Structure 1
Amino acid sequence: MDVTDDDYINLMSALLPPGPAWSADDPAIIGAAPSLRRAHQRADDLMLEVDPRTTTELINRWETCCGLPDECIPTGTQTLQQRQNRLDAKVNLIGGINERFYLDQLAALGKPGATITRYNKGPFKCTSACTEAVYSTEWRYYWQVNMPAATDATWMTCTDDCDTPVRYWGDTVAECVISKLCPSHTYVLFKYP
């Protein structure tokens, strides 16, 4: 709500005691109104800093308190909106080790169409259907994140070092965040179409 000087003049005039000692056009009242309006607007601005989704002035303090930016996202590579989204995801993180939790995290990271494949059906047996995959018992500790869309691939060039991969791709931010959040006894595989 936009507050004007006139609003504060009317407010202070209404608070004056009745009688001829004070009037609404008193210079003290007219002179105090701009200061009160600025204080009110500043208080409104600071209320936006309480929420990590709308913070701008205090975003560095918020990030310091939350351990951001972390190794998943290098400093200075994100826009203000991306920083606010990552901060909101970290502050309002409701933990869990179920599939919905990880899909929500992937959606917050810009991968809303991602799916998860689990290899928990156990090893292949004589009684298994022919269409079932062949897994050993160790595969129950693996799960796969299927990314929704192809990620731009980067090819090796003639000017690259010898140890540069011939081709590399992937969303390193999403991979890093999911790997940090996954249970310590599991292994995450990332599949790109």
Structure 2
Amino acid sequence: MPHKPNLDEDYTRLLQSLLPPGPAWAGDNPLLDGLAPSLARVHQRADDLMKEINPAQSMELTDRYDTLCGLPDPCLDPRPQTREERQQILDAKVNTVGGMHEGFFLEQLRLLGYPTATLEQFQHFDRSPDPAWGDRWRYYWRVHIPAEARIRTMTCVSACDSPLRHWGERAVECVIERLCPSHTQVLFAYPTGDNHASH
């Protein structure tokens, strides 16, 4: 990035002010005229590098930030990302503060594209919603993915080993399972008409 022209003038004046008084320094000074642009470029370069401290603004250190933060995220779509998308992901990775409360997970679901998703926490119930869960039901919770979730049905052009119906948001499930408290088990529910399919 080219430095601002007025920085040359600023450094020229600064260097002139450092010179001792006397007629020897009167008039043009090629030495100062040569030093000022170099100092201005160093100044501008320092400003540019200061911006790199913030991953959301990084232009030059994005690859290094990716390595430090374990990106690209294996949970996310491996498609090529724009610089703006990479900056947003880096910003979220570096600055997201974790939590074990409902609001934290709802915010993650919003960032993943599901602002209307809801959570169901079974520890608030007096009895198990499903007897098959045994006495561990209090450690389960469920994410209800709204109707816009991708649900794919087998068609006549599908592979012969394809399931009759396949649903799920791999990225959402991967992220939430990675963030969920280690002593809990998260379930995901997807709408199928008037009912929900869970897994």
Give the TM bin, normalised by the shorter chain. Answer: 0.7 to 0.9
Q: CA deviation at 1:155?
A: 4.2
Q: In structure 2, what residue type is equivalent to 1:64?
A: T
Note if contact 1:115-1:146 (Cα within 8 Å) is conserved in structure 2. yes
- Tell me what 1:122 maps to: 126
Note if contact 2:150-2:169 (Cα within 8 Å) is conserved in structure 1. no
Note if contact 2:119-2:141 (Cα within 8 Å) is conserved in structure 1. yes
TM-score by length of 1: 0.78
Note if contact 1:122-1:135 (Cα within 8 Å) is conserved in structure 2. no
- Tell me what 2:175 maps to: 177
Give SS of 2:56's match: coil
| Aligned alpha-carbon RMSD (Å) | 2.6
- TM-aligned CA distance change 1:44 to 1:123, over 3 Å: same
Q: In structure 2, what residue type is equivalent to 1:59?
A: T
Give SS of 1:21's match: helix
- TM-aligned CA distance change 1:25 to 1:171, over 3 Å: farther
- Tell me what 1:129 maps to: none
- Tell me what 1:3 maps to: 4
- TM-aligned CA distance change 1:118 to 1:35, over 3 Å: same
Q: CA deviation at 1:27?
A: 1.2
- TM-aligned CA distance change 1:74 to 1:112, over 3 Å: closer
Is 1:97 aligned to residue 95 of structure 2?
A: no
Residues 1-193 of structure 1 aligned to structure 2 (within 5 Å): 3-4=4-5, 5-23=8-26, 25-120=28-123, 121-123=125-127, 134-136=129-131, 137-148=135-146, 150-193=148-191
Q: CA deviation at 1:182?
A: 0.7
Q: Distance in 2 between matches of 1:143 and 1:89?
A: 24
Give SS of 2:178's match: helix
> Identity, % of aligned pairs?
51
Give SS of 1:151's match: coil
Note if contact 2:106-2:115 (Cα within 8 Å) is conserved in structure 1. yes
Q: CA deviation at 1:76?
A: 4.2
Residues 25-77 of structure 1 show CA distances to partners (whole Å, capped at 9, x for unaligned) of 31111122222222222222211211111112111111111212232125444
Residues 78-131 of structure 1 show CA distances to partners (whole Å, capped at 9, x for unaligned) of 33222222222222232321112212322333433432111121316xxxxxxx
Q: CA deviation at 1:145?
A: 1.9
- TM-aligned CA distance change 1:192 to 1:35, over 3 Å: farther
Note if contact 1:103-1:112 (Cα within 8 Å) is conserved in structure 2. yes
Q: Distance in 2 between matches of 1:113 and 1:159?
A: 33
Q: Distance in 1 between matches of 2:155 and 2:104?
A: 39
Q: Distance in 2 between matches of 1:109 and 1:17?
A: 63
Answer with 149-158 or 51-60: which moved more. 149-158
